[in-house]
Amino acid sequence: MSLIGDLTDTQIADVLRLFASGKKTGRLTVSSDQDQTVLRFQKGALVHAHGTGGRLAGDDAVLDLFGWKQGQLTFIPEDSAVNPNVTRGVDQLLLDGVRLGDVFHRTRQLIPSDRIVFQMAAGPEDDVPRYGIGATEWRVLRLVDSVRDVGEILESSGVPRLELLRVLLEMTEAGFLEAVEPQRELRVQAQGLFGKEHAELDDRLEGDWRRLHRFGRGVLRVEVRSVAGRSVTLAAHFRGGVGRGVHLPRTAVAELRVKEGDEVRVRPVV
């Protein structure tokens, strides 16, 4: 593997042009402290791309690279078979990347999944330019409540996905919103035969949730959701020593169809 450059002094657009004109075949890896993306070329054509963790692939993985500010580029010449997943040619990717790549990357960093939740922030500084609120922005803003995640806002607002992501990014960067992560992945522990019909959680978790505007006075109920999507809502009880577990009534364990040690997603609800 040979190091061919660094994104602090090399533009990804120039690398793609060079590989296309030189009809390169092989694997280009772009690595930063947080991410890694692998591009595969065949005779100058960019045919396959994927990012770490499977979060991005194909055209999106290439587009995202145009927003990277740092990262090392390494290349291995090889001619191994790969299933194509890039649909656009290099010329079109260059046009789209220069035009949209930076915003695409900033959006992905802010909203890596639909489980991200937003709440009102402290607000912009006095000398920041005014931000216009239109019908689309208002349809999003009225649903921001420290509880609904991006997926739920998407479903309730009727705003197209790309428009929703644009509004959330713009309003966050303008200082009106901030992203929070109230959802926690915890391991199921079943209560005894005489356990009460509430969920028991670590009191440090309540401290974290109290920092959310909606739950400053405390958390009374939580939603517990299995990996398969089944959910129950229970009264919440907090005590020390629970750690990363959530103690559930046996009726809730049966309804969720989980067993001890399984991971579930838990979040506070109104």
CATH number of the domain enclosing 204: 2.40.40.20
Residues contacting residue 229 through CB under 8 Å, at least 6 positions apart? none
Report d(CA 29, CA 118) in Å as an integer. 33
Predicted pLDDT of residue 195: 62
Structure tokens at 237: 């009880």
For residues 91 and 6, state if they share a domain: yes
**Domain enclosing residue 147, as ranges:** 117-180
Q: Are 205 and 268 within 8 A, CB to CB? A: no
Last residue in a domain, options 180, 204, 220 = 180
For residues 167 and 210, state if they share a domain: no
For residues 84 and 126, state if they share a domain: no
For residues 44 and 132, state if they share a domain: no
Last residue in a domain, options 180, 197, 227 = 180
The domain that holds 163 is classified in CATH as 1.10.10
What are the pLDDT digits (tens) for 218-250? Answer: 999 999 999 999 999 999 999 999 999 999 999
Q: What is the mean pLDDT of residues 9-38?
A: 91
Q: Are 114 and 151 within 8 A, CB to CB? A: yes
Q: What is the mean pLDDT of residues 57-83?
A: 91
Q: What is the mean pLDDT of residues 168-178?
A: 92
- Longest C-alpha distance within the chain, in Å? 72
8-state DSSP, 69: S
For residue 196, pLDDT beyond 90: no
Q: Which has the minimum average pLDDT: 46-55, 103-112, 179-188, 251-260?
A: 46-55
Predicted pLDDT of residue 130: 80
For residue 24, pLDDT beyond 60: yes
Q: What is the mean pLDDT of residues 176-188?
A: 92
Residues contacting residue 246 through CB under 8 Å, at least 6 positions apart? 186, 187, 188, 189, 199, 200, 201, 224, 264, 266
How many domains would you assign to the chain? 3
What are the pLDDT digits (tens) for 90-110? Answer: 999 999 999 999 999 999 989
Gap between the terminal Cα atoms of the chain: 54
Give, in order, the Cα–Cα distances in Å from 135 to each of 157, 165, 167. Answer: 11, 15, 11
Report d(CA 248, CA 52) in Å as an integer. 34
What are the pLDDT digits (tens) for 130-146? Answer: 888 899 999 999 999 88
Structure tokens at 137: 């922005």
For residues 192 and 176, state if they share a domain: no
For residues 124 and 53, state if they share a domain: no
Q: Are 202 and 238 within 8 A, CB to CB? A: yes
What are the pLDDT digits (tens) for 32-63? Answer: 888 899 999 999 999 999 987 667 899 999 99
Q: Are 176 and 152 within 8 A, CB to CB? A: no
Cβ atoms within 10 Å of 111's Cβ, excluding its own: 19
Last residue in a domain, options 75, 101, 127 = 101
For residues 175 and 222, state if they share a domain: no
Structure tokens at 172: 């966050």
Q: Which helix (H) or strand (E) holds 49?
A: strand 45-51
For residues 12 and 46, state if they share a domain: yes
Structure tokens at 129: 């330019």
Structure tokens at 122: 């402290």
**pTM, whole model, 2 decimals?**
0.75
The position carrying tokens 């194909």 is 58
